[in-house]
Amino acid sequence: MPPDLGIPNSDSALGGSGTAPAEPWANPLETALWCAAQGWPVHPLAPGRKTPAPNCADCRDRPHPAQECPCIPAGHWCHGFHAATTDPSVLTAWWRRQPRFGVGVSCGPAGLVVIDVDAHPAPLPTPDRLLPGIHIPDSVCLDGLRHGFHSLAVLAALRGRPDPAQDGTTLRVRTPSGGLHVWYTTRPGQEWRCSTGSGASRALAWQVDIRSHGGYIIAPGTRTVSGRYTALDGARRPAPLPGWLGAELERTGHRPVPPGPRGGSPTPVPSRARAAVVAARGGRDSAARALATVLAAVTECAAVPQGAGFTEKLNRAAFTAGGLVGAGRMAADAAEAALMAAATHARPGQERRCLAIIRSGMGAGSRRPLDLGERR
């Protein structure tokens, strides 16, 4: 008999829709101060947006590592989560300047790991990408599986554990797009890396992202143009990460990168990045060559940790890939995988940022199908 995976529908999955008790986050400044009081470093988000408040002109026009930025010690918010602080006087000054800033929490230094469940209806991925590393027996019926709530529920069911999306013992925040952030604390000394569940690198489950070191999460109470991040009934503070989820994160490669030398010598392009370039071939060598050329510019940034124009090169590569996809010369999935492999090789630990650049670049490029100047 096929196991009952109890795939919930996304509405009932979140528990009652009753009115929540009074929240400690009445306005953005109070939210920021409340987060800081939990020991969570906070940084501002552009009003109404999910993205960090913009850098100053210097930091925008002359890219440099956050570690070398004079703005941050001077109390400016440049470099997104790198500027996050728990200092109430700095936070008060920031939100006095712009009361409509949203609130971002820098997950890693806060000792947080957040399970970010998406609810975007999308075609099912191939079975190996649904729960990477887990063989789903044919006897398991996946009918009705449509988004991240389902893939996470299937993972929990296969492990015989409660569904984290239903975990009322921890802080859960409903996102404006119908997704859910399940907040957990890490143990002292325990670190996790970010991932995107639909990306090409490590992933816990399809449409389930992990936010931790190298990423930030939007605080409850924050409002964007799409709506409000609203805490669900239940706990208002994160509970410790359940042991079984920790084991799953470990299994899926979310352990931290061991501190290692990142010297100036060129590192070889890993086979995964090369394989992705090959996989990106849509059967037409001119398309593969066009992509390989721009991808090479991205991977070469690995040798230059700063000032390499990485963002611009990745954006250009994504735009080119989008153009090839738009022209029907390449599959979007394969192109995205190739771009992510090249990007994570050049800038490990920045998957989230890279994926955003890739998606926006590919989106723009796909509206301008690339004519490679040959007869078809």
Binding site for Zn ion (CB under 5 A): 56, 59, 69, 71, 78
Reference 311, options 267, 355, 245; nearest CA is 355
Tell me the C-alpha distance between 28 and 223, whole Å.
9
Q: How far apart are CA 188 and CA 103, in angstroms?
A: 24
Length of the chain: 376
Task: Outline where 17-140 has alpha helix (H).
Answer: 28-37, 57-61, 88-97, 107-110, 127-130
Q: How far is the CB of 33 from Zn ion (least distance, A)?
A: 23
3-state helix, strand, coil in the chain (%, to 5): 40, 10, 50
User: Closest approach of Cβ 65 to Zn ion, in Å?
Assistant: 8
Q: Of 68 and 143, which CB lies nearer to Zn ion in the complex structure?
A: 68
What is the Cα–Cα distance from 124 to 93, expressed in whole angstroms? 46
The gap between the terminal CA atoms of the chain, to the nearest Å, is: 52
Q: Which is nearer to Zn ion, 73 or 123 (CB)?
A: 73
Residue number with CB closer to Zn ion (60 or 228) = 60
The torsion of the CA quartet 349, 211, 258, 333, rounded to 10 degrees, works out to: -50
Give least dist CB 54 to Zn ion, A.
10
Nearer to Zn ion, 38 or 98 (CB): 98
Nearer CB in complex with Zn ion: 52/132: 52
20 vs 71, beta carbon nearer Zn ion: 71
Residue 308 C-beta: closest distance to Zn ion, Å: 16
Residue whose pair of structure tokens reads 């554990």 in the numeric block: 161
SS3 of 279-311: HCCCCCHHHHHHHHHHHHHHHHHHHCCCCCCHH
Tell me how far, at minimum, the Cβ of 57 lies from Zn ion, in Å: 8
Please, what is the minimum distance in Å from the beta carbon of residue 82 to Zn ion?
A: 9
- Number of alpha carbons in the 13 Å side-chain half-sphere of residue 281: 10
Please state the closest distance from residue 61 (CB atom) to Zn ion, in A.
10
For Zn ion, the closer CB: 32 or 59: 59
